[in-house]
Amino acid sequence: MTPVSTVVSFLALFLSLVVVVSGDVIRLPSQASKFFHPTEDDGDDSSAGTKWAVLVAGSRGYWNYRHQADVCHAYQLLKKGGVKEENIVVFMYDDIAKNKENPRPGIIINSPNGDDVYNGVPKDYTGKDVNVDNLFAVILGNKTALKGGSGKVVDSGPNDHIFIYYSDHGGPGVLGMPTSPALYANDLNDVLKKKHASGTYKSLVFYLEACESGSIFEGLLPEGLNIYATTAANAEESSWGTYCPEEDTSVQSEFETCLGDLYSVAWMEDSDKHNLKTESLHQQYELVKKRTAGNDSIHGSHVMEFGDIGLLSKEKLVLYLGTNPDNENATFAHENSQLRPFSGFTNQRDADLVHFWEKYKRAPEGSARKAEAQKQVLEAMSHRLHVDNAVVLIGKLLFGISEGPAVLNKVRPNGKPLVDDWDCLKTLVHILVNNLYFQSV
C-alpha cells in the first residue's frame, strides 16, 4: 500500500467515526473513543459478568403514585443503559397508569414536564403477585417457589452483578407490600445471606427508599457478603416525597399527588445525566446525600450506607446500571454534578393527606367528588388519631402511666438491630393490625 493510499484509508476511517453535532463542533462516539484510547479502563469490562436488576414498588393506591413512578423511571434508566429486558424483574401493583384519578390515562411521569416512564415497562409481577414470597423467590432464582407472575427470576452466576431497588412506605424494621404480610428486615437479610452462600453473584447493590429504611440493614447486614446498600433515611426518621402539588410550583395543576420521592429522584436524575463509566457508587452516594438532606433541620433525611462500603463503593455505577450512550461525553465531575435543589418536600406519611386535601380543594362545590375527598381526609386523620391513642394506651398499661411514653420512644444504640426477637415483633404487629385496623405500613 502506497503512503498516499494509507493516508486516504486513515482519513476514511476517521471520518466514519466522527459525528457532526453543530457547526464546527464534533463528538466522538464510544467506538471512536475506544479506538483512540485502547488501553483506557472504561469500567465496563465484558468479562465482569451479566447485569441483573430487581425493581420493587411496594404500595398501591393513587395517593402512592410516586412509588410506581420511581420504579418505572428506574426501568427506563436501566434499559437506556443497555441492561437486557430479560434481566430486569419488575414488581408493581399496576393500579396507577389507568386509575380514574390519573389526569393522563396510561401515562406516568416522575417529574414535572417529565417523559412518560410507564410505556414499555414489563408487567412481571402485578396485583396480588407483588408479595414477599415471590420477591424472595425472584432474588434467589427459585422458579419453583413462584406463584403467579411472569416466572422471571434472577438466574445469576458467580461473575454477575445484581442491582435491587425498592420504593415504598416503611417503618422500624419493616417494609410495606400491597399484599399481606409485610417484609421484615431480618427475613430480607437472611435471603441476601442465602443468595451469597449460593455463590451466584460477584457483587450486589441495594438502593432502598422508605421511612426508617436504615433500620432494615443497621446491625443486620454484615460485611463480607459483597453487598453495598444505601437507604433514603436512617433508622429513626421519615423519608420524603417530592414534586408535590403546592410544595413545588413546577408541578402541573392537573396533578393532585406527589410525582416522586426525594432520594429516588436524586439518584435517578444524577444517573440520567452522566456517563456512568466515570461515576462511582460513592460519588453518587455523596451527591444524593447532599441533595436529600434538605436546607433545614425539619425537611429532608440522612442517606445512609451499609455493608461492604470500602470494598464496593469505589466501583463504577456502570457495573450495575449500565450507561446511556448519549452521555458518552458527560464525564462525572464535581462541577457538573449539581442538579437544581428540590423546591419542596412532603413527609412520606403525609403524602396521602396531600392527595386527599388537593382533591378536596379542587373539586367543585357540592360535587360528589368533593364529598368523597372530604370523607377521605377525615377518615385518614381519625384513623391516625385512633392508632396513636391506642399505642400510647398500650404503653401505659404495660410500663405505667409515667414510664409508658418514655419507653415507647426509646431507641437502641447505633449499630444495633431494631430488636433481637423478630418473632415477638411480628406477633405484636399481627395483633395490632388485626385489632386496630392498621392500614398497610
In the 8-state DSSP scheme, what is residue 144?
A: G
The one-letter amino acid code at 344 reads G
Q: Is 386 a catalytic residue?
A: no
Catalytic residue among 161, 169, 274, 355: 169
Query: Number of helices and strands (H, E) in the chain?
Result: 13, 14
Q: 360 by DSSP, 3-state: which?
A: helix
| Residues 220, 177 contacting (CB under 8 angstroms) | no
Distance separating alpha carbons of residues 63 and 42, to the nearest angstrom: 42
Rounded CA-CA distance 8/171 in Å is 67
**Which among 72, 73, 161, 211 is annotated as catalytic?**
211
d(CA 107, CA 310) in angstroms, rounded, equals: 40
Clarify whether 211 is annotated catalytic: yes
- Do 250 and 112 form a contact (C-beta atoms < 8 A)? yes
Helix (H) or strand (E) holding 433: helix 422-436
Gyration radius of the chain over CA positions: 24
Nearest to 425 by CA among 155, 173, 119: 173
Kindly give the interhelix angle for 262-273 and 65-80, rounded to the nearest 10 degrees.
20
Using DSSP's 3-state secondary structure scheme, residue 191 falls into helix
Query: What's the rounded Cα separation, in Å, for the pair 76 and 271?
Result: 11
CA nearest to 87, candidates 201, 196, 217, 210: 201
Euclidean distance between CA atoms 180 and 440, whole angstroms = 8
Rounded distance between C-alpha atoms, residue 337 and residue 66, angstroms? 24
- Do the Cβ atoms of 239 and 263 come closer than 8 Å? yes
Q: Report the distance separating Cα 52 and Cα 153, nearest Å.
A: 9
User: Is 177 in contact with 131 (CB distance < 8 Å)?
Assistant: yes
Cβ atoms of residues 152 and 86 within 8 Å: yes
Q: Which residues are catalytic?
A: 169, 211
